[in-house]
Amino acid sequence: MSPYSATLYWVYLGPTKDKPGGTYPLTVSSQHDVKAAAQALCDATGHEQYVVSDFKEHRPCCTCHVQEACYRSTWNEHSDVVHKGQRSDPQLTTVHTCVVCCDRKLTLLGRSTDFPYPYDASYSLLEGCPRWHEQHGSALWCGACDRQLWELRREHPTNDLRDQGAQDLVRALQSSIAGNHDHAKNAIKEAAELFAGASTPFMWAPPGTLDNDLMARATCILTQMLAHMRMWLDSDPGVGTLPQELTATHRLGWEWQECLYLSLRTYDNDPERVAREFLLRFIDTPRIPLMWAKVPIASRRFVANEWVHIIQETMAGEVAWWEQHRHYGGS
């Protein structure tokens, strides 16, 4: 049972000539104070009409499958109203539109050890959730997409070496702070070289071991994806531009190509999975998230679907570019 079942209400404030209508939470000490508190909120915000409903009866809350998780947690939105004078679970939650999957989600921020819901779970919300706002948290990742990105990083051939390099670098810096400068100097250099080498695309593959056909196919797909992206951005100047250095000739472009190569090698018959992994890696690229968050959701989904079609056509052999340019593949 929610700790707010007797005190939390939703108040719908009717629109005026100058202000749109909206739904707001209202916390009162007793049921007798509801109308007075709602009228005070109405007067304070300049609205003229209001409708009050208990959260258990409010739609869609009354049928929402994450109602308990929502009302047990501390809200990131309206926290000054909802939790005023209330003792709530320290687990913080926020309602937002995921920047990757574009679905409306309830996401756990941080972690409360006593909260009975997994941190990386994905809680999709019903249409009309009163906690949701189109401009709130539009650049946040939901738990499910964040977990998939973590798994993608963990599966990388040099993941263990990168982790080792980062850990060695931290220990070396701590040693330097402690006064062991001579030892720390060499240790910092070795750790940095290990981390840099493990972070360089394709360094995990000895010369001559890459699949040339697969490399050419990844190059073909990436070239078409970037061309499609630029064409789409040019048609919508309000979105922004793709940073010039993020091309197939730049290191970050090589990281995208490496992502496609590894995905194609593992999921050569699953174009949607390949496109999904590329989307995760693409949005995780520096400077991309801010640009992507400005893109309307319909446009994001359109681009993602077009990427699936590009991969499907290439896998099906309908695009013959890579057949004609095999000699550009790996070394």
Residues 263 and 218 in one domain: yes
Residues 11 and 35 in one domain: yes
Is 110 contained in some domain? Answer: no
What sign does the CA torsion over 57, 58, 60, 64 have? negative
Helix axes 212-234, 251-266, angle to 10 degrees: 120
What sign does the CA torsion over 21, 24, 28, 32 have? positive
Rounded Cα distance between 180 and 172, Å, is 9
Is 126 contained in some domain? Answer: no
* Ordered per-residue pLDDT tens for the chain, 331 residues: 344 444 677 777 777 777 777 777 766 656 667 777 778 877 777 777 777 777 777 788 888 888 877 877 778 776 555 554 444 566 778 888 899 999 888 888 766 555 556 555 667 888 888 888 777 777 888 888 988 999 999 999 999 999 999 999 999 998 888 877 778 888 999 999 999 999 999 999 998 999 999 999 999 899 888 888 777 766 665 555 555 545 444 556 788 999 999 999 999 889 999 999 999 999 998 778 877 887 888 888 888 999 999 999 888 774 444 445 444 444 3
Q: Which domain holds residue 175?
A: 159-199
Is 71 contained in some domain? Answer: no
Is 63 contained in some domain? Answer: no
> Residue 194 CA to chain centroid, in angstroms?
29
Tell me the DSSP string of 129-183. -TT--TTSSTTPPPHHHHHHHHHHHHTSTTHHHHHHHHHHHHHHHHHHHTT-HHH
Number of domains in the chain: 3
Is 113 contained in some domain? Answer: no
Residues 218 and 315 in one domain: yes
